[in-house]
């Protein structure tokens, strides 16, 4: 639902060339940038998108999607990472935690809050009941597509 909402909202959004700061700036994910390019084309350096509320809700949808797809513990991304790479998900989860701390220290402080939340949620995927049953290739492809969605929706500095 997020992509159609975002596209409709971007069509309703305006391009502004104001030099004064009004409102606040939002970060951009790869998917948001691509959708904006599809709707508005290449924009001049001094141009700003004044997001319509529908576009803002689509942007929030992308942010929430990327948060849920963080490859940590009980989040959907943790399940996907465990399904794709197995017990190595532990290594990925710790790497994500380190990246969030770095991003929180240099960019958006909210990533530090998320790092703490993820530590309390447990970083590792819980044990599975039937761990000896391998996933078929179709499920692996779906897992890699979910990882691609995470990469496309992640915004390093959201606000």
Residue pLDDT, tens place only, 62-115: 999 999 999 998 899 999 998 898 889 999 999 999 999 999 999 899 999 999
Considering only residues 82 and 19, tell me which one the structure prediction assigns the higher pLDDT. Answer: 82
What is the residue whose two structure tokens read 């000896």?
132
CB-CB contact of 115 with 108 (8 Å): no
CB-CB contact of 158 with 104 (8 Å): no
Q: Which of 20-34, 36-50, 56-70, 112-126 has the highest mean pLDDT?
A: 56-70
pLDDT at 18: 67
Instruction: Give the domain ranges of the chain.
Output: 2-65, 69-152
b (16+ CB within 10 A) / e for 70-98: bbbbebebbbbbbbbbeeebbebbeebbe
pLDDT of 20 over the 70 cut: no
> Element (H or E) spanning 30, and its range?
helix 30-40
pLDDT of 5 over the 80 cut: yes
pLDDT of 140 over the 70 cut: yes
Q: Return the percentage of the chain with pLDDT > 70, whole number.
A: 96
Closest by CA to 123, choosing from 71, 59, 47, 69, is: 71
pTM of the model: 0.86
Q: Which whole-number Å values give the CA distances from 159 to 16, 82, 108, 146, in the listed order?
A: 19, 30, 7, 24
Q: What is the mean pLDDT of residues 139-152?
A: 93
Q: What is the mean pLDDT of residues 126-141?
A: 82
Closest by CA to 155, choosing from 60, 35, 52, is: 60
What are the tokens at 12?
């309703």
């Amino acid at each position: 639902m997020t992509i159609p909402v975002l596209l409709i909202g971007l069509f309703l959004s305006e391009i502004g060339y104001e030099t004064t700061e009004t409102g606040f700036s939002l970060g951009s994910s790869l998917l948001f940038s691509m959708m904006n390019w599809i709707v508005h084309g290449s924009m001049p350096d001094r141009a700003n998108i004044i997001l319509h509320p529908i576009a803002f809700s689509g942007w929030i949808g992308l942010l929430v999607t990327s948060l849920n797809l963080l490859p940590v513990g009980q989040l959907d991304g943790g399940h996907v990472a465990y399904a794709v790479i197995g017990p190595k998900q532990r290594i990925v989860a710790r790497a994500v935690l380190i990246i969030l701390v770095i991003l929180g220290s240099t960019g958006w402080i909210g990533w530090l809050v998320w790092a703490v939340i993820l530590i309390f949620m447990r970083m590792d995927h819980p044990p599975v009941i039937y761990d000896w049953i391998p996933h078929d290739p179709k499920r692996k492809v779906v897992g890699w597509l979910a990882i691609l969605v995470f990469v496309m929706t992640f915004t390093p500095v959201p606000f």
